[in-house]
Each structure stands twice: as C-alpha cells, then as structure tokens.
Structure 1
C-alpha cells in the first residue's frame, strides 16, 4: 500500500506541476498581450487625419513669406568659433557691397545668450536665396550652425516649427516670444524690399492669366505634371 500511495502521489504531483506550468504560460501570454494593447492604445487614440494642403489662392498670397532671419551660432567660450563667425559676417557684408545679394547683419555680435537664442550669435535679415546657398556651403559655414526662420506675425511658430537648420541644431527657449502680433515687424523699410516693397499688386485675374499661360507652355513638356482639373 505504501508503494501504491507513493506512486499515486508522484502522479498527482506531476499533473499539478504540468498544470501550474500551463497556467503560468497562459498568464504570461495574456500579460504580454495586455501590455501590447496598452502600448498601442495611446497611438490609436491620438491618431488624427492629416490636413489637406491649401489650394486657396488668397490664403497662399496672404501668408507669403517675404523676409527671413538668419542666426549664426557659435560657442561663446570658443575663441576660434567666435573669430570664424566674425569672418563669415564680414564676408556677407563684402558680398552685399559687391551686389551678390541683399542681407543686413546687425551691427552687434552677441557673445552671450539673448532672447530665445542659447549661445553667442550674430543675426542677419535677408530676402535673397543666394545667401542661403552661400551659408549652406560647408566651406563657408565652417564649424558654425545657422538657424533660418521666416519673419511673420507669429514669432514663436517661426522659431519652433517653421525653422530650418544649416549644421547641427541648438535648443531654443521660445517661451518669451509672442504667439502672434498685430503687425509684421518690418525690417529696414527704407530698402523698400520684402514686406515694405512698393511693387504693384498683381490681381487674381492677372495671376490666373499667367497661370493659364504656364499650363499651355507645359503641355509640350512630356515630363511635366498636369494641374488637376478643379
């Protein structure tokens, strides 16, 4: 009887062990599935349809960017970078003098953080793409980083989401910048460029005629995409 009972107990223990392992495996699978669902749920809950690009002519014209700011950064404790920034600034001034582009660096070079900017820098206003090409060249830029942003009524968005970097980016503190101002902060209106330009306004009708002519010319270009039919 003792031997039978021992065999019986051994059999029962084996079954219990197998059942315990099976339950543990199921619990682990369920826990993993629950964890996956919990990780996926926020993404599903916050998913939003992407907005469509605007095709309204008036909206596009009213939001046209006509002036840009360039901020050239250097580590204020790095004498070599500081010197290089001054060299780049002087190069911009010489090229402006010679008619390469129109850019207006400020007379001062900041050697400490100021406003949203975390390091030494000098700033420049421009509406000319030629200066972008110049600054994008690694030989001209050297070890410096350059922040490029549009100049609009929404200064905070200009620095946060409408900006571009040439070289490594720097963290900005935009908390002091206004979300929106009533007027565009005009820069050097005496130049009569950008937002201060006196170029006659082109009416929507004239723009439509220009657009129709472009479409007509491009009909002969097999690689050119056709504008969608309204």
Structure 2
C-alpha cells in the first residue's frame, strides 16, 4: 500500500462549501434508529450514473478487478477456473480476460481480470464477488491514468492482499513517451 502522504487530496466538501450546517436530529424508532436525518437532495448524485472524476468512464472501464489464485494449488486453480466461467456466464456485459496460469505484469501470482464500465455494473458485480469469490483474493482498483496510485493508494482488497510488483508500474510510467503539453 502506498504512503498516503505521497499524494494530495481535494477536500471532501468540494462543491458543498458555505451551506447551512446540518442538523444533529436523529431517527428515534425503527431500523434506522440512531441514524441522522439528512436533508433531501435537490438531485440524485451523479455518482449513480458515472464514475467520479478522474476515474475513466470510457472504453478502458472504470475499474479493474484482479482475481488471484495460487497456481501451484490444484484446488485454487479449479475454483478460479470455475469462477471465471461463472462470471462470463452471469455477467456477459463485463470484459473478462483470460486466466493466467502464472504471474504476469505486477501480479506475483496467477490471476484473471474483469473490467466494469458503469456504477450499476460495479454495484451488481462487487457484492456478488464478495459472496462468490471463495478462497480467492481480489484487487479492485480504479482506472485514472495513474497506474501506481490506482494499484496502491486507491486500491481496495477482498481477502488477503497480495504484494504487487509496483516497481514495474513505476518503470512503465517513466518509460511512457511524453506527449505535447506534458
């Protein structure tokens, strides 16, 4: 995981400055008891329809999900292969890549990758994966154009985190040809 002090962060309240203070009133009964009563929104958050900037909303996909398995463990290989097939059958609209039977790129063990393109797909697939990933670990990361930060500081893990070869991503970033204006 990347040291958070390496990065800068926009204020979480950006776009919500100078508003009236929120009330401290809470629900007193029922299943929502003790939760705050929130003011009604003027409109639904745009995050329901598209990923927050700078996450890509295009052809690359907003998020990559890497599902890892130990290539020397027959039961994990069998589970990963079956999970791969199930994902392709149940979520045909997602981009599902081949099952790698060895380490590839910054990934130090075997894996396969799934891309999601919309918040709706993310909202359906990630809870499904929480329940169905079995003994496998999964890395969920956004695609913002900063591969190092996406695979580290912005990453979320299900299961046991796998140490990535982040140095490879750093070298690739340094080797990228510079374009006009950069």
TM-score range, shorter chain: 0.5 to 0.7
Residue 113 of structure 1 pairs with residue 103 of structure 2 = yes
Counterpart in 1 of 2:153? Answer: 161
Residue 55 of structure 1 pairs with residue 14 of structure 2 = yes
Counterpart in 2 of 1:133? Answer: 127
Match of 1:104 among 66, 90, 95: 95
8 Å Cα contact 2:95/2:115 also seen in 1: yes
Counterpart mapping for 1:49-198 below 5 A: 52-53=11-12, 55-56=14-15, 62-66=53-57, 67-97=62-92, 102-106=93-97, 108-127=98-117, 128-129=121-122, 130-137=124-131, 140-177=132-169, 178-179=172-173
Aligned residues: 126
SS at match of 1:70: strand
Deviation at 1:109, TM superposition (A): 1.2
Deviation at 1:51, TM superposition (A): 6.8
RCO higher in 1 or 2 (8 Å CA, sep ≥ 6)? Answer: 2
| Structure 1 unaligned spans of 5+ | 1-45, 184-230
Deviation at 1:142, TM superposition (A): 0.9
1 CA distance for matches of 2:13 and 2:54?
A: 11
In the superposition, relative to structure 1, how do residues 111 and 134 fare at CA in structure 2: closer, same or farther (>3 Å)?
same
Q: Write out the 4+ residue segments of structure 1 that deviate beyond 6 Å after TM superposition.
A: 180-183
Deviation at 1:167, TM superposition (A): 0.9
Deviation at 1:133, TM superposition (A): 0.9
Provide the aligned C-alpha RMSD in A. Answer: 2.7
1 CA distance for matches of 2:154 and 2:10?
A: 17
8 Å Cα contact 1:157/1:179 also seen in 2: no
TM-score (norm 1): 0.49
Deviation at 1:64, TM superposition (A): 4.0
1 CA distance for matches of 2:64 and 2:52?
A: 20
